[in-house]
Each structure stands twice: as structure tokens, then as C-alpha cells.
């Protein structure tokens, strides 16, 4: 595969091989059973565990915590949870106040930043003891979970970037649904066709112009990169083409006006708040495979998935693979061993798998996938089929970027928004974004 060649960090393979060797020598069998054995402190300890998501995730996670506490009566878990946007804002405040949770759910968007700031604990010391990594994908661990030779996160699930579409809306309009691996020309033709059948106040797709990760996928399909050597790495002409493409669609009226886009574009990653659920758009993205469970449940069989559009002439797919969610441990936790035991329970135990199932996406742990397969619903099978399809099409790996990249992503949206509202030209946005982003990234080097 070309994943590691394109986005991998060669330097991590040596240290990671030692980690995995330790896991295979001292780990617990196949990893298909309960968590690795490890002595717990005799006194009762309390760990704070934080995550984001919709209500279904909260309910399942609370039930999983209850099961863990039954099996580990000396370890109590204090839950902290919210929607995606609020979650990371709160976590940033907690980190600044030296009050971060012991175990944290982390998105790939932020994990590099937190790792380079020394906030996340190196988990190698627990591998083969409290932690068993035998079932986890070594390529994913090497490309996404290891920073500067340190194992700073454990992937709970595998994910991929995708588009969702309302199949019922297409059926009622008499329009063929979007196919896999459309070019952008085909994508906008489809958006135009469905918009023509929807009437006033509804649109073919959401406006992705100001979404930093959507721009990243566009770059990848053009053979360009988002970051290089700690700075922006793309050619300015590619950002200009990206903005011109969406500006044309906006002026044509086949995607929402700037005022509507601004009302939801600061992504909360809360499935309940996505515009496709409101019937505003027929196609929405970029989103992620694990969202399918919650969103399809809300739409009652009307939701389907397809890949991210790609540039004409490109090979493979523009969708990328990534861990759905990382479990990370606070470098300053008072109870690192107990935190590792809890993380291991979520990743390796059948008890946790029975409760969490595929709500966070297809588990990265191959043994848990095999364990859960007999229970797969049609929704679960669709998720696995999409992940298998994308994995077979030479995908890239999501680029979480260097320290400061989260701030750069917010800057991108705010800067592009000026052009969406007609307050800046495309050329002005291209120049301003590079100038201000380089300042942020330079400061964080």
C-alpha cells in the first residue's frame, strides 16, 4: 500500500516494532477476551474520562463504565461528555488550567498538537502489561498514533471520510443517487440536477468551501499536500481553484447562501445537528463512517453513503482512512496504571464490545470485529462494506498536521467566510490565509 509512503513517518517504525514485539511477547493471547491482567492499587481511585458525541453514545458509554466498575470495584470512573465543538473547547480550557481528565477521547485533528505539547502520556511502558495492542492495525499505530517515537493514543475504531445523501429525496425527485468516486464535475452535475427538483429553500449539497479537511481531500486527489515540514505545503493555485469552484456553485444557487452556511459550518460533529437531517440539503460532507449509525437511525432508512469527490484524472479515491477516535492518557494523571487498565478494557474486552458495538465505528481491534460480526445489523454491514471499499482504493491517511493545525483550521473557515459573504476576493483570501497560517505554525514550531 502507498499509505505510509505518502503520509507515514518512517522514524516511528523502529520504536513501534519494539512496542508491538513487547505486546506479542508479554500480551494476553489473541486479544479476543477481556482486558490484560494487571494488578490494581488496593485503594479506590477515581479517574475522569471524557468523550464527545450524541445521546446514543453517551448512553452506551455510561453503561460500559458501569460494567467496568463492576469488574474493577477499586476504580471509579467520573464521566464528562458533550458535543464535539463544546468538548474540545472545554478540554482546551481544562488543559490550560492543569485540570484535564485522566483519560481523554481525542480526534486526529487535535492529537498531534496535544502530543507535541507534552500533554499525552507515552503508552509504551504499559504495552504487554496493562495494555494489549496485538489486535490493533500496526500501520494505523505507526502513521497516526505515534508522534516523535511515542505511542500517544490507542485507536478505538477505524473510520473514513465520506459523504452522506438522502436516498429518499433522490427517489422522490426521480434522480439517480450519487455514485462512488465521482469527479467534482460529476458531483456538481448531480447537485445541480437534484436542486432543480427540490424547489425553494432546499439545496443539492452543503457548501464545503470553508471546511479545512474538505480542502485537504481535494489536495490529496490532486497529488498535493496540506502540510509539509511544519508549514502549509500546498500550491496557492490549488486553493484558488477550490474557492472558485464553490463560488460558482454558490452563485448558481445549487448550494446554500453564505448566511445559511454560517449558521452550521462551525462543525459541532454532533450528528443530531447536521443540515441533511433538517432536509436542507440532499448531500452533505465531509463526514465520517461512524456517524452513519446515529444519523441513519434518525432518518429511518433514508440515509446512504458515498465517497468524497475527486479531481478528474486522479487515481484511487479521495476519501481517506483515519482512526475514528483515540483514547489518550493525561501525562499528569495520578493513576496512569489504572487509566491504562480502563483504556485496555474499552479496546480489548468483549464486555465493552457487547455494549458499545459499532456506535463509534468499526473497532480497530480485529479480534473485536470478528467477535461482533455475528451481531452485525444491516447498518453495521453497510459501514464495513464502505470501509472495505475505501481501503481497497489506495486511500491516503488523514493528515492531522503539526502543532497549531487546529487553530489553522479555524482560521481557514473564518478567512474563507469573508469571501463567501463578498467581503474579500478569492485572491485576497488565498494570500491572507497563507500569511496568517504561517504565523501560527511558525509560532508553534
The DSSP annotation for 285-309 comes to EEEETTHHHHHHHHHTS-EEEEPPP
Q: Which three cell numbers stand for residue 74?
A: 477499586
State in words which class domain 160-320+404-444 has. alpha beta
Q: Where in the chain is the domain with CATH 3.40.190.10?
A: 3-156+324-397, 160-320+404-444
Backbone angles phi, psi at 316, to 5 degrees: 70, -140
Averaged pLDDT, 154-165: 93
Express each pLDDT in 390-420 by its tens digit. 989 988 888 888 888 889 999 999 999 999 9
Summarize pLDDT for 224-264 with one digit per residue, the tens.
999 998 899 999 999 999 999 999 999 999 999 999 998 87
**Residue 11 pLDDT exceeds 80:** no
Report how far apart, in Å, the C-alpha atoms of 390 and of each of 276, 305, 370, 408 are: 23, 12, 20, 28
Please give the pLDDT value at position 270. 59
Nearest residue to 76 via CA among 101, 51, 46, 50:
46
Per-residue confidence band for 66, with pLDDT thresholds at 50, 70 and 90: very high
pLDDT at res. 422: 96
- pLDDT tens digits, 333-346: 999 999 999 999 99
At the top level of CATH, the class of 3-156+324-397 is alpha beta
Distance CA 189, CA 207 (A): 15
| DSSP, res 356 | H
What DSSP designation does 30 have?
Answer: T
* C-alpha cell at position 307: 465517497
The overall average pLDDT reported for the chain is 87
R_g (Cα) of the chain, nearest Å: 22
Residues 30/367, Cβ–Cβ less than 8 Å: yes
Query: pTM above 0.85?
Result: no
Amino acid at each position: 500500500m502507498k499509505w505510509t509512503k505518502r503520509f507515514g513517518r518512517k522514524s516511528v517504525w523502529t520504536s513501534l516494532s519494539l512496542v508491538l514485539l513487547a505486546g506479542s511477547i508479554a500480551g494476553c493471547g489473541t486479544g479476543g477476551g477481556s482486558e490484560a491482567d494487571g494488578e490494581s492499587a488496593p485503594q479506590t481511585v477515581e479517574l475522569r474520562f471524557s468523550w464527545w458525541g450524541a445521546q446514543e453514545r453517551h448512553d452506551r458509554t455510561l453503561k460500559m463504565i458501569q460494567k467496568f466498575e463492576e469488574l474493577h470495584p477499586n476504580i471509579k470512573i467520573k464521566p464528562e461528555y458533550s458535543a464535539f465543538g463544546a468538548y474540545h473547547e472545554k478540554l482546551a480550557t481544562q488543559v490550560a488550567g492543569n485540570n484535564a481528565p485522566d483519560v481523554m477521547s481525542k480526534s486526529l485533528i487535535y492529537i498531534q498538537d496535544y502530543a507535541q505539547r507534552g500533554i499525552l502520556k507515552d503508552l509504551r511502558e504499559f504495552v504487554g502489561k496493562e495494555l494489549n495492542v496485538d489486535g490493533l492495525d500496526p500501520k494505523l499505530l505507526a502513521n497516526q498514533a505515534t508522534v516523535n517515537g511515542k505511542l500517544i493514543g490507542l485507536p478505538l475504531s477505524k473510520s473514513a471520510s465520506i459523504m452522506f445523501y438522502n436516498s429518499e429525496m433522490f427517489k422522490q425527485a426521480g434522480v439517480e443517487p450519487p455514485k462512488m468516486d465521482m469527479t467534482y464535475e460529476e458531483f456538481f452535475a448531480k447537485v445541480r440536477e437534484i436542486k432543480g427538483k427540490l424547489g425553494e429553500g432546499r439545496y443539492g449539497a452543503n457548501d464545503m468551501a470553508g471546511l479545512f479537511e474538505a480542502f485537504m481531500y481535494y489536495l490529496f486527489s490532486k497529488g498535493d499536500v496540506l502540510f509539509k515540514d511544519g508549514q502549509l505545503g500546498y500550491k496557492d493555485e490549488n486553493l484558488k481553484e477550490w474557492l472558485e469552484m464553490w463560488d460558482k456553485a454558490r452563485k448558481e444557487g445549487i448550494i446554500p447562501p453564505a448566511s445559511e452556511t454560517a449558521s452550521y459550518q462551525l462543525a459541532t460533529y454532533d450528528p443530531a445537528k447536521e443540515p441533511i437531517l433538517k432536509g436542507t440539503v440532499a448531500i452533505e460532507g465531509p463526514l465520517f463512517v461512524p456517524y452513519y449509525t446515529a444519523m441513519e437511525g434518525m432518518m429511518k432508512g433514508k440515509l446512504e453513503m458515498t465517497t468524497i469527490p475527486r479531481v478528474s484524472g486522479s487515481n484511487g479515491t479521495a476519501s481517506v482512512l483515519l482512526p475514528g477516535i483515540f483514547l489518550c492518557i493525561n501525562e499528569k494523571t495520578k493513576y496512569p496504571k489504572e487509566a491504562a487498565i480502563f483504556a485496555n478494557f474499552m479496546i480489548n474486552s468483549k464486555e465493552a464490545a457487547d455494549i458499545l458495538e459499532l456506535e463509534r465505528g468499526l473497532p480497530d481491534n480485529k479480534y473485536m470485529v470478528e467477535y461482533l460480526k455475528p451481531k452485525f445489523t444491516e447498518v453495521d454491514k453497510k459501514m464495513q462494506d464502505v470501509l472495505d471499499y475505501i481501503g481497497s482504493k489506495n486511500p491516503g491517511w488523514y493528515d492531522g498536521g503539526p502543532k497549531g493545525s487546529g487553530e489553522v483550521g479555524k482560521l481557514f473557515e473564518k478567512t474563507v467566510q469573508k469571501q463567501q459573504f463578498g467581503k474579500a476576493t478569492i485572491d485576497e483570501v488565498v494570500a491572507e490565509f497563507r500569511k496568517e497560517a504561517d504565523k501560527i505554525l511558525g509560532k508553534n514550531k
